[in-house]
Amino acid sequence: MGLKRSHAEMSGRSKQDAPADQAQSPYMPMFEAFRAELDEHHARREDIIKASRDITAASKKIIFTLQRIRKLKEPLPAHVVKTNADHYNIIEERFKTVAKHLQGINAYRYARQISGGCQEWMEAVSFQHYLVTGQLLSYEDSRVTLLDVSKDEEGKSINLGPEDWVLGIYDMTGELMRFSITAMATHGLPTIPADNASDPASDSMDVDGRDGSSGQQRSVLTDMRLLRAALEGLDAGSGPFAKDAEKKMDVMRSSVEKVEKSLYGLIVRGAERPKGWMPDTNEGGRAVEVEG
């Protein structure tokens, strides 16, 4: 393959014969500034995408470890805390690395690039919060937590958008489904111990001002139904968020249906099943794949 020739050589001129005023063009500095700005933009974008992927991977590992828990409203076991500590450190380091890139207008410019990591982080921390407290992690508490986790040496941090909080809660219902079905194999449907033993509904989940108190023992299923009702009443408007919410809505409904169907099988036909039986979530219903 021959050497690539310059435009001047192809036109029969040497580089020395090029017009002397070419380098003095008034437009060159302007376009050089544009080039530098675009290079900086692509570098920032790649850094944020890489950080988001690392945060997503670490959050998934946290969720995987949390799924080993079998009881609600109890402190995390020591082995779970120890295992997840390294993953949380990775998440904190990645958030701090890109916090400087997500300030001012750039927070909106690169919102789609960091959104995946924020949603997966939200799914992990809300799932852990529910396992420990039996409560839904509020948006304000989530936002403050991320501000603290992502604060770098210059005091810059990342603000959690309401959209990422909502989409993370959608995904968290899938983890509640997995937790419930796994626990049903040995302990039955997981219930939430009440703070006041004389009033089982005194400690029910607060979703949008509704505590879901109905006088019955709280369980993961009752909380999932309450979440479903609240999320179905959400007006997502239009745009990318509305499309994402619509997709996750179908998955969320499927998760609730799977727990309902598994509980039905446990109560109605459980006595006929052998010890260690796992509920079959593939019998009937809509074949909707639950996000990991």
Question: Can you give the three-state secondary structure of the chain, one letter per residue?
Answer: CCCCCCHHHHCCCCHHHCCCCCCCCCCHHHHHHHHHHHHHHHHHHHHHHHHHHHHHHHHHHHHHHHCCCCCCCCCCCHHHHHHHHHHHHHHHHHHHHHHHHCCCCHHHHCHHHHHHHHHHHHHHHHHHHHHHHCCCCCHHHHHHHHHHHCCCCCCCCCCCCHHHHHHHHHHHHHHHHHHHHHHHCCCCCCECCCCCCCCCCCCCCCECCECCCCCCCCEHHHHHHHHHHHHHCCCCCCCHHHHHHHHHHHHHHHHHHHHHHHHHHHHHCHHHCCCCCCCCCCCCCCCCCCCC
Give this prediction's pTM.
Answer: 0.78
pLDDT at res. 13? 56
Q: Which residue has the tokens 């750039």?
A: 106
| pLDDT of 201 | 40
Note the pLDDT of residue 290. 38
| One domain, residues 41 and 135 | yes
Which of 119, 137, 158 corresponds to the end of one domain? 158
Instruction: Render pLDDT for 172-201 as a digit per residue (tens, 0 to 9).
Output: 999 999 999 988 887 778 888 776 544 434
Model confidence pLDDT, tens digit, residues 89-125: 999 999 999 999 999 999 999 999 999 999 999 999 9
In DSSP terms, which residues pair with 191 in a beta bridge?
A: 219
Q: Residues 213, 255: one domain?
A: yes
Structural domain includes residue 267:
yes
Contacts 24+ apart (CB under 8 A), 217-220: 217/191, 218/134, 218/191, 218/192, 218/194, 219/189, 219/190, 219/191, 219/192, 220/72, 220/176, 220/179, 220/180, 220/189, 220/190, 220/191, 220/192, 220/259
- Quote the CA–CA distance of 292 and 277 in Å, as a whole number: 23
How many structural domains does the chain have? 2
Give the amino acid at 34: F
Question: CA end-to-end span of the chain, whole Å?
Answer: 49
Boundary (domain end) residue, out of 141, 158, 175: 158
Q: Which of 158, 181, 196 corresponds to the end of one domain?
A: 158
In this prediction, residue 175 carries a pLDDT of 95
Give domain status of residue 32, yes or no.
Answer: no
Q: Are 205 and 225 in contact (CB under 8 A)?
A: no
In a domain, 166, yes or no: yes
Asked if residue 181 and residue 134 are part of one domain, the reply reads: no
Q: Is residue 128 part of a domain?
A: yes
Residue 178 shares a structural domain with residue 292: yes
Within this chain, do residues 132 and 174 fall inside the same structural domain, yes or no? Answer: no
- pLDDT, residue 24, reads 65
Closest CA to 94 of 110, 115, 117: 117
Same domain, yes or no: 288 and 197? yes
Task: Name the residue with tokens 């990991």.
Answer: 292
Range of the domain at 280: 161-292
Residues of the chain with pLDDT under 50: 197-203, 208-213, 283-292
Q: Has residue 2 been placed in a domain?
A: no
- Furthest CA-CA distance within the chain: 97
